[in-house]
Amino acid sequence: MRAVVARRGIDQGNGRLKAAVVVYLIFPINQMTDIFMSQVHTIAVLVGSLRKDSINRKIALALAELAPASLKLNIVEIGDLPLYNEDIDGASPPPAYSAFRDQLGAADGVLFVTPEYNRSVPGALKN
């Protein structure tokens, strides 16, 4: 896997960092060579904040609008996922698990747009 990382801080105005936006774009290495060719690649976008008006969601939506024609960005919602429980993740997992896995499995790459809290990602994304 190859990752392209972009990181940008949001200043409170007093020199302190209010939040940092970290963007990871991950592709299998064999797809890096033709990622900007004429073939359309589907990218699953995971937004690390559950707030409907989060800065990260706005960034993800803007990226989807500004993406070149060779990239189709689809936001994959994580707010509908129940907390992970290995006991119910058996032969017939919850429909939300299956839908999430299907969306990620169909994508050529994954883009994480997430706030950074204490040098880590939010709990909702860790789940």
Q: What are 8-52's pLDDT values in tens digits?
A: 555 555 655 555 555 555 556 555 555 555 688 899 999 988 888
- Domain ranges in the chain are 2-126
For residue range 54-89, list pLDDT tens digits in order: 888 888 888 888 888 888 999 999 988 888 888 888
Closest to 63 in 3D by CA, of 79, 74, 52: 74
Distance CA 43, CA 110 (A): 5
Architecture of domain 2-126: 3-Layer(aba) Sandwich (3.40)
